[in-house]
C-alpha cells in the first residue's frame, strides 16, 4: 500500500491547493454578507457562524471545483500510471496507443467520457442539497 503513496500525492497536491484556494476565496466573499453580520450580532459563536452560515453558503463553488478536479484526475492518471509503472486504465490507454489497438482505445475513451459526464451530472444535482435556492 505504501508504494501507491507517491503517485497519490503526485495526483492530489495540485487539486488540494486549488480546493483550498477556492474555499478561502468563497468563504471570504461570503463573510462580507449581511446575514453573517446578523448572525454575529445575534451572539452566535464564531465557529457556528463560519460552519453553518459562511461555509454552507460558499459550498456551491467549492463543490464545482471538487467535481471538475475529480473529472480531471482521469487525464492525470494516464500520465501518473505511465511514470510510476502502475497497471491500470491509464497504463492500458498508453499501451493501446503505442500498439495502435483502436478498439481498446475507443473503449477506454468511452469509459472515461461516461465517468466524466456522470461526475458532472452528480455535481450539478448536488447543488440542490447545498443551496436550497437552486431548483431544477
Q: What is the pLDDT of residues 16-67, one digit of tens each?
A: 999 999 999 999 999 988 989 999 999 999 999 998 888 888 889 999 999 8
Choose among 9, 18, 16, 19: nearest CA to 80. Answer: 9
Question: Which pLDDT belongs to residue 108?
Answer: 94
pLDDT digits (tens, 9 = 90+) for 67-90: 888 878 888 888 888 888 889 999
In-domain check, residue 21:
yes
In-domain check, residue 6:
yes
Domain count for the chain: 1
Q: Across residues 98-107, what is the average pLDDT?
A: 96
In-domain check, residue 135:
no
User: Helix (H, G, I), strand (E, B), or coil: what is residue 134?
Assistant: coil
In-domain check, residue 136:
no
Taking the alpha carbons at both ends of the chain, their separation in whole angstroms is 42
Question: Which pLDDT belongs to residue 56?
Answer: 84
Boundaries of domain holding 100: 2-130
Q: How far apart are CA 13 and CA 18, in angstroms?
A: 9
* Statement: residue 132 has pLDDT above 80: no
Amino acid at each position: 500500500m505504501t508504494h501507491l503513496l507517491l503517485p497519490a500525492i503526485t495526483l492530489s497536491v495540485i487539486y488540494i491547493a486549488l480546493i483550498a484556494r477556492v474555499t478561502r476565496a468563497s468563504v471570504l466573499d461570503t463573510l462580507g454578507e449581511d446575514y453573517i453580520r446578523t448572525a454575529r450580532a445575534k451572539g452566535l459563536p464564531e465557529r457556528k457562524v463560519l460552519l453553518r452560515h459562511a461555509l454552507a453558503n460558499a459550498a456551491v463553488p467549492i463543490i464545482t471545483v471538487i467535481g471538475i478536479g475529480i473529472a480531471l484526475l482521469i487525464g492525470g492518471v494516464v500520465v501518473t500510471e505511465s511514470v510510476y509503472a502502475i497497471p491500470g486504465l491509464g497504463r492500458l490507454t498508453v499501451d493501446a496507443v503505442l500498439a495502435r489497438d483502436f478498439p481498446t482505445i475507443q473503449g477506454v475513451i468511452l469509459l472515461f467520457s461516461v465517468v466524466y459526464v456522470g461526475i458532472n451530472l452528480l455535481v450539478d444535482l448536488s447543488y440542490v442539497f447545498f443551496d436550497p435556492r437552486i431548483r431544477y
